Structure 1
Amino acid sequence: MTADVLLARETRVGRITIEPVDVDRDGDLLHAWITHPRSVFWGMQDATVQDVWDAYAAIVADPHHDAWLGRVDGAPAFLAETYDPEHSELAGRYDWQLGDIGMHLLVAPTDEPRSGFTSAVFRTVMELCLDDPRRQRVVVEPDVRNRRIAALNAAAGFRVVGEVELSDKVAALSICTRADFEASQPTTHLTDESMGRAHRMLVAKAIGEFAHERLLDPRPVGVDHEIVSPDGRVRYRFHAHRYELDHWVVGPWSIHRTVDDEAADVDALAFVVEHAEVLGIPDDLLPTYLEEISSTLAGSAWKHVHHTTSARDLVGADFQAIEAAMTEGHPAFVANNGRIGFSVSDYEAYAPETGSRFTIVWVAARRELAHLSLGEGLEEQSFYAGELDAAARQRFDGTLRGRGLEPSDYLLVPVHPWQWEHKIAITFAADLGRGDLVLLGHGDDEYQAQQSIRTYFNTSRRDRHYVKTALSIQNMGFMRGLSPRYMRATPAINDWVADVVASDDELRSTGFGVLRERAAIGYTGDVYHRLGTPSPYTKMLAALWRESPEAQLADGERLATMASLLHRDRDGASYAVALIRASGLGPAEWVGRYLRAYLRPVVHCLHRYELAFMPHGENLILVLDGHVPTRVVMKDIGEEIAVLGDIDLPADVERVRAQVPPDVKALSVLTDVFDGFLRFLAAILAEDGMLASDDFWALVARTISEHQDDHPELAEAFARIDLFAPEFAHSCLNRLQLRDTRQMVDLSDQAESLLFAGTLDNPIARYRR
């Protein structure tokens, strides 16, 4: 720490330092921040540069008022002020106590917001205020209209004590004691307000999705709907809109619950217990499902408190800022953020929505007990050299030689820090003792977890590969492991798919691309593999490397997860709607371009090659130009593709073949695309008045019809795999999870009565020509 830096902290967003404002050095910068449209509550929108210089020169000279410049990793990032409330406009306006300190904070406006950034800055400024042990309370007086700062204040332990009319605003006078601040972490999000909101949001989703899967049957009551528990004691009345594909949008704040005709709180856990019988949850597995619901509630509350970035601000945001800002998780699953196994501190460190960055643990595995598969054109030494700097490789070699081991006898395996601490160091203790596995330590690059939670983006070297590792936590009925044996063929499968895409004129014309999984590694030398029976223990030590999409960008292009099109911010604003408005295009034109980029190549792959993807939101990356999707990039190829026909396949790709009837082939679009993603987007655009549902599905039909017009040579495939069929089998994901809340079984093993619930009317059937 230099003499100019008053306070420095290492945080999950970087090294934060605070130093006195130097008006000569900082005046122009402060003027740009203060007069920015997003800084309206600072109250100096019309200030000139000289006004700002004069104001902060006066603060610097005032013995009762100080101004501070904050930096993150050396870059100017925020402005803070501290003051004595007794020598301010608050004097005599509240119950002042010795040890009070006033505080103002302005985070620099940015077009690349980072999840958790403002919270980390806020807490550091609070630590500055309380760094002097004589300070016992921090006082703030934000504008009563400033909801975002109110949420940050509440998260830090502030309590509103009343409204005060000041010269430039009506302020929500709030006070935080030292004890309240110290108690505000790490469960600051678990408040009545945030949890109440989480319960309502989750019950609204549960009603909608369980009604969609025909587990619940809401009945009209006037302008509302109602469901009644099997025992008749509990009633839920709510307002809802119903769209194509039997999609329900339930208003969270319209839900009214009564128990024995008495008003009662809306409670997601109680909702599941009350309806467990009709949901089909076995009694012995109900607690497991409730644990996943509880974890989902906690995650929702955390995001409500900490995700203050608006949908409008996300429009120009960085790829990873958008990734971390996502709030919903899987759109169809109700219990979709289980993460069973994570502690509170693990959640802060590794959950995708926290935007935290971490280094990966590296383990050496004895070569004859592990297998490294490399994609076409790759060689082991050069591949590792591309993923690890020379200094790290030399350090790892030194660790092995220090134990009398030869580095060339080992392969390097990346491991999630949680997996090392909770699984590998314990469950593979014998392997470590024998030297079949050797801990090498942390790498140098920092990674950020993606929505798929066991996939990590390299934020230090964005051109390097994603890393995906086994992570033995339970989420949505799955233990998030990786099978070494299953992944042996992953690079070969990816190379084959990439060759198909690259050689197809239609796919090239739409810009459709895939992110190849270029390498995979797994350890099989443990006792669990010797048993010869697959289990969660045989899926604990494996990893793969996937291409980074940033290397494929042209000038002016940006990236966003396709899941973002279903995102609403904490105030309910839609990111998709914000993109459409920012693009300058009409909603129909924007949606038409999106469908050409996304739906058309997926349909083409199905009809031309009988190649099916799992094209849900998190598996697709949008390439945006001028806020318009111009092309898409598919990922998760190795685990989530299937060839549904008889085309020739290389021997090492053969495992992706699945022989299914034609009507099931069509479900790869009708279920996975229409029901799995587009029904949600169509409802968002309709709810926000952007595009009527009928108009949306007409655009879907037109996109498919245009593809058929352009490819008459595929007429037989269009007829055999009919996407305009009047109806299709209604596949229900929640039913699978509810049947066995510990481990969803493979879909191929499911009885039809478990997976399907009758049929859904096809929303584009009416447009058949």
Structure 2
Amino acid sequence: MRLVPLDIDRDLGLVHAWVTHPRSHFWGMQDAGPDRVRAEYRRIAENPHHHAWLGLDDDGTPLFLAETYDPAHSELAAHYPVRPGDLGMHVLVAPPTTPRSGVTSAVMRTVLDFCFADPRVERVVVEPDVRNAAIARKNAEAGFVEERQIELHDKVARLSFCTRGAYEMSTPHLSPAAIEHAHRRLIAKALAEFSHERLIEPVPDGDGYRFGELTFRARRFPLEHWVVDPHSLRGPLDALGFIAGLRETLGIPEKLLGTYLEEISATLAGAAWKHHHRRETAEELVHADFQAIEAAMTEGHPGFVANNGRIGFGLRDHEAYAPEAGRPVRLRWVAIRKSESLFVSARPEEDHYRDELGDETLDRFERKLRSEGLDPGDYRYLPVHPWQWEHKIAVTFAPDVARRAIVPLDAGLDRYRAQQSIRTFFNVDRPDRDYVKTAIAVQNMGFLRGLSPRYMRATPPINEWVAELVSGDDELRACGFGVLRERAAIGYTGDAYHRTGTSSAYTKMLAALWRESPVPMLAAGERLSTMASLLHRDRWGDALVTALIKASGQTPAGWVAAYLRAYLRPVVHCLLAHDLAFMPHGENLILVLENHVPRRVFMKDIGEEVAVMNDRPLPPAVARIRIDVTDEIKELALFTDVFDGFLRHLAGILDVDGVLPADEFWGLVRDCVRGHAADHPALAGRLDLFRPTFRHSCLNRLQLRDTLQMVDLTDQAGSLIFAGTLDNPIAS
């Protein structure tokens, strides 16, 4: 959102409709005609101590009206001793034309950000009508403190103040109700997933279960999947205490317990923030656009308990850069010496920069370099996450900046939105342009989210090879399966950390890659959604997938069958026909929906999370993705990554919601795999996908063993931890 000066001649119709609406009765202009409204705002425009502003949503839609004024030149001067740095403020949110959640809170933050952007302002003053209880609550959330009631010419008002410090320290999401909501859901998830991984064993207790001091109701489904009802939890609602008390049972190394608890605490804080600020209903999201859905997700990875840690982000960082905040971000750009860096792409480097930055910005960057006596021909351009520039590059790489191996340039013109993976950005100004994936030294879900320049040398060639294989396969084309290629990679290698020859977090702090956008690949009537959204429940517990099926007009079985053809069948085919495995979890898949039904999918994160599991000839640049594993491990690419990693969660939601029984769901999965076998008899026996059981690979056990780096990316199969076997839900 942003504020622009109000033009009453241009905006009269809009403002008149707003201030005379029944919801705006505290604004005091219910019976005003257009002429009176025009006269009032012309008077404000002519007053050097009073200003009116129109608030615009990020797409330019008028959303609110704000006024700022100098209290020393207002009626308030007679009621309190005005201080230097005081600024008065009024705000009116437009009457809603369509349901939107969390708008008033977002508007309040936008207006206060605007007020405090002036360094002279130390305190914001408001005087709402004492009868306006709703705005009093919003004011208190933002940090306002009521001093006393005063009588003004048109109302009895609450004279209230918000200092800069109070606003910066305001944490409206950390309320008892919001944190209880977070504790309930995290403990319910911990009970479910730790039971699934056979780390704990709740015992039957009446019509529910008991574990320690906790009692709860739960339902159990195939693959030993537990769905715990968070509202049924009775006992201490303390997720941190619950985890700490199980340290030995969970196998957390004593030296890493604090780190894991910090991830749990940060996950709680993030859940509380989402509960307070994100109020979209599942029914609203059925019709939402791609990025609105991305921002609305309230859950991270469905299997991991500590799945939203983001250790390193402060409160303001979270509000600026987290995907759920939905705020546009302009990436920072630096120039790095060609002789101390790498760039890999199938297209010329100059063409890449021209596409991403444009001639005007490129010219500005070159003039910046020349102004410092540097030759632009010696440099290439790298995008940096704003947090990474502030907290790492300008400090950890200070000598490199000082010797102009790294040259700070400027923020780019395009606005981006952070995706669920935190470090990947979608271009909202030019949606057809590439995603940008940046390095960021934030700890999240068992990894510091860096990017290795040397590791990424092979990323574009790997992506081109996979894309060629996929596009050349008749079956995959028939399913509409596609991959989003990571087409260019860049990284700085001239620092002392690289010169040591030892790989570490410090060698992964200054790099980026570009991944193609799915937007240009859409046909008329198609729209996009992250596959993770199929597991989303809103704050009231309603599931988006249930709402999608209802809106589609399809039978639940027909909808699921269409989804499995788009998602599961291509994954099975890649495995059987090419020994090619992806990491097909929810955040790595983008669904293409038509009439609310999944018709095809795009796979992403190809460079880091793809493997060829045979001895077929590979180009030298692609050889990194070959792994030598047994057929049993190959099968886990389906059993663990698809069945256990995603489909068991979806089956549980549909059964609990009364949409489709779990047994019928897994019957449809069986039919999908059998259908592929019938169409490709030569591939049917390559792997035993209908075996009675398979080894139970456990994700949380990986993170609990080493919350700093749970998997060795160079030997992911060797990092696996197993806990017995699971019954195969599609066994013949």
Query: Is the partner of 1:421 in helix, strand or coil?
Result: helix
1:301 to 272, 279, 286: 272
Aligned equivalents of 1:472, 1:192: Cα separation in 2: 31
Aligned equivalents of 1:630, 1:339: Cα separation in 2: 33
Aligned equivalents of 2:159, 2:729: Cα separation in 1: 54
1:221 partner letter: D
Aligned equivalents of 1:695, 1:433: Cα separation in 2: 64
1:744 aligned residue: 710
2:622 partner letter: V
Whether the 8 Å CA contact 1:23–1:57 is kept in 2: the answer is no
Query: Shift in Å at residue 620 of structure 1?
Result: 0.5
Query: Shift in Å at residue 588 of structure 1?
Result: 1.1
Query: Shift in Å at residue 134 of structure 1?
Result: 7.0
Whether the 8 Å CA contact 2:337–2:379 is kept in 1: the answer is yes
2:195 partner letter: A
1:723 aligned residue: 689
1:439 to 408, 413, 424: 408
Query: Is the partner of 2:590 in helix, strand or coil?
Result: strand
2:284 to 313, 317, 322: 313
Query: Shift in Å at residue 751 of structure 1?
Result: 10
Which string of whole-angstrom CA distances, capped at 9 and with x for unpartnered residues, describes residues 81-112 of structure 1? Answer: 99xxxxxxxxxxxxxxx89999874454458x
Whether the 8 Å CA contact 2:439–2:450 is kept in 1: the answer is yes
1:78 to 60, 63, 66: 63
**Structure 1 residues 748 and 436: alpha-carbon distance in aligned structure 2, compared to 1, 3 A threshold:** closer
Aligned equivalents of 1:504, 1:751: Cα separation in 2: 27
2:509 aligned residue: 540
Aligned equivalents of 1:17, 1:268: Cα separation in 2: 48
Whether the 8 Å CA contact 1:151–1:305 is kept in 2: the answer is no
2:2 partner letter: G
Whether the 8 Å CA contact 2:24–2:30 is kept in 1: the answer is no
1:120 partner letter: A
2:696 partner letter: H
1:405 aligned residue: 374
Given the alignment of the two structures, is residue 287 of structure 1 paired with residue 287 of structure 2, yes or no? no
2:105 partner letter: S
Query: Shift in Å at residue 126 of structure 1?
Result: 8.0
Q: Identity across aligned pairs (percent)?
A: 55
Counterparts in 2 of 1:146-161, with a 5 A limit? Answer: 155-156=141-142
Whether the 8 Å CA contact 1:17–1:71 is kept in 2: the answer is no
Please say which of residues 380-389 and 397-406 is displaced more in the overlay. 397-406
Aligned equivalents of 1:705, 1:119: Cα separation in 2: 51
1:369 aligned residue: 340
**Structure 1 residues 745 and 69: alpha-carbon distance in aligned structure 2, compared to 1, 3 A threshold:** closer
**Structure 1 residues 458 and 754: alpha-carbon distance in aligned structure 2, compared to 1, 3 A threshold:** closer
Query: Is the partner of 2:273 in helix, strand or coil?
Result: helix
Aligned equivalents of 1:630, 1:211: Cα separation in 2: 35
Query: Shift in Å at residue 140 of structure 1?
Result: 6.0
**Structure 1 residues 763 and 153: alpha-carbon distance in aligned structure 2, compared to 1, 3 A threshold:** farther
2:723 aligned residue: 757
1:329 aligned residue: 300
Query: Shift in Å at residue 750 of structure 1?
Result: 8.1
**Structure 1 residues 196 and 74: alpha-carbon distance in aligned structure 2, compared to 1, 3 A threshold:** closer
Aligned equivalents of 2:158, 2:656: Cα separation in 1: 39
Please say which of residues 433-442 and 393-402 is displaced more in the overlay. 433-442
Aligned equivalents of 1:482, 1:103: Cα separation in 2: 43
Aligned equivalents of 2:113, 2:319: Cα separation in 1: 19
1:643 partner letter: V
Query: Shift in Å at residue 715 of structure 1?
Result: 2.7
1:260 aligned residue: none
Given the alignment of the two structures, is residue 616 of structure 1 paired with residue 585 of structure 2, yes or no? yes
Aligned equivalents of 2:450, 2:59: Cα separation in 1: 39
Query: Shift in Å at residue 441 of structure 1?
Result: 2.1
1:562 aligned residue: 531
Aligned equivalents of 2:250, 2:578: Cα separation in 1: 38
Query: Is the partner of 1:364 in helix, strand or coil?
Result: strand
Given the alignment of the two structures, is residue 733 of structure 1 paired with residue 717 of structure 2, yes or no? no
Whether the 8 Å CA contact 2:64–2:91 is kept in 1: the answer is no
| Structure 1 segments unaligned to the other structure (5+ residues) | 1-12, 35-40, 45-51, 83-97, 144-148, 161-173, 229-234, 258-264
Query: Shift in Å at residue 21 of structure 1?
Result: 10
2:503 partner letter: P
**Structure 1 residues 754 and 317: alpha-carbon distance in aligned structure 2, compared to 1, 3 A threshold:** closer
**Structure 1 residues 673 and 484: alpha-carbon distance in aligned structure 2, compared to 1, 3 A threshold:** same
**Structure 1 residues 20 and 525: alpha-carbon distance in aligned structure 2, compared to 1, 3 A threshold:** same
1:85 aligned residue: none
2:614 aligned residue: 645
1:89 aligned residue: none
**Structure 1 residues 428 and 43: alpha-carbon distance in aligned structure 2, compared to 1, 3 A threshold:** closer
1:380 to 349, 358, 361: 349
1:214 aligned residue: 198
2:239 to 265, 268, 282: 268
1:686 aligned residue: 655
1:253 partner letter: H
Query: Shift in Å at residue 401 of structure 1?
Result: 1.1
**Structure 1 residues 366 and 126: alpha-carbon distance in aligned structure 2, compared to 1, 3 A threshold:** closer
Which string of whole-angstrom CA distances, capped at 9 and with x for unpartnered residues, describes residues 179-234 of structure 1? Answer: 49984654221111111111111111111111111111000011110112xxxxxx
1:198 partner letter: A
2:161 aligned residue: 178
**Structure 1 residues 371 and 22: alpha-carbon distance in aligned structure 2, compared to 1, 3 A threshold:** closer
**Structure 1 residues 267 and 387: alpha-carbon distance in aligned structure 2, compared to 1, 3 A threshold:** same
Counterparts in 2 of 1:11-50, with a 5 A limit? Answer: 13-15=1-3, 25-26=13-14
TM-score where L is the length of structure 1:
0.82
RMSD, matched Cα:
3.6
1:239 aligned residue: 217
1:223 aligned residue: 207
Query: Shift in Å at residue 413 of structure 1?
Result: 1.2
Whether the 8 Å CA contact 1:362–1:412 is kept in 2: the answer is yes
Which string of whole-angstrom CA distances, capped at 9 and with x for unpartnered residues, describes residues 219-272 of structure 1? Answer: 0011110112xxxxxx11111111111111111121111xxxxxxx41111111
Aligned equivalents of 2:322, 2:640: Cα separation in 1: 29
Given the alignment of the two structures, is residue 350 of structure 1 paired with residue 321 of structure 2, yes or no? yes
Query: Is the partner of 1:281 in helix, strand or coil?
Result: coil
Which string of whole-angstrom CA distances, capped at 9 and with x for unpartnered residues, describes residues 720-740 of structure 1? Answer: x12211111111111111112
Counterparts in 2 of 1:82-161, with a 5 A limit? Answer: 105-106=93-94, 108-110=96-98, 118-123=104-109, 135-137=126-128, 139=130, 155-156=141-142
2:500 to 518, 525, 531: 531
1:727 partner letter: T
Query: Shift in Å at residue 150 of structure 1?
Result: 11
**Structure 1 residues 384 and 102: alpha-carbon distance in aligned structure 2, compared to 1, 3 A threshold:** closer
Please say which of residues 425-434 and 340-349 is displaced more in the overlay. 425-434
Whether the 8 Å CA contact 1:416–1:470 is kept in 2: the answer is yes
Query: Shift in Å at residue 707 of structure 1?
Result: 1.1
Given the alignment of the two structures, is residue 664 of structure 1 paired with residue 647 of structure 2, yes or no? no
Aligned equivalents of 1:527, 1:699: Cα separation in 2: 55
Query: Is the partner of 2:655 in helix, strand or coil?
Result: helix
Whether the 8 Å CA contact 2:490–2:513 is kept in 1: the answer is yes
**Structure 1 residues 150 and 671: alpha-carbon distance in aligned structure 2, compared to 1, 3 A threshold:** farther
Given the alignment of the two structures, is residue 201 of structure 1 paired with residue 167 of structure 2, yes or no? no
Query: Shift in Å at residue 77 of structure 1?
Result: 3.2
1:661 partner letter: T
Whether the 8 Å CA contact 1:158–1:176 is kept in 2: the answer is no
Which string of whole-angstrom CA distances, capped at 9 and with x for unpartnered residues, describes residues 637-690 of structure 1? Answer: 001000111222111111101111111101111110111111111111111111
Q: What is the aligned residue count?
A: 688
**Structure 1 residues 15 and 452: alpha-carbon distance in aligned structure 2, compared to 1, 3 A threshold:** same
Query: Shift in Å at residue 406 of structure 1?
Result: 1.0
Query: Is the partner of 1:121 in helix, strand or coil?
Result: helix
Whether the 8 Å CA contact 2:491–2:510 is kept in 1: the answer is yes
1:188 aligned residue: 172
Query: Is the partner of 2:702 in helix, strand or coil?
Result: helix
Aligned equivalents of 1:538, 1:204: Cα separation in 2: 38
1:627 to 584, 596, 605: 596
**Structure 1 residues 319 and 24: alpha-carbon distance in aligned structure 2, compared to 1, 3 A threshold:** same
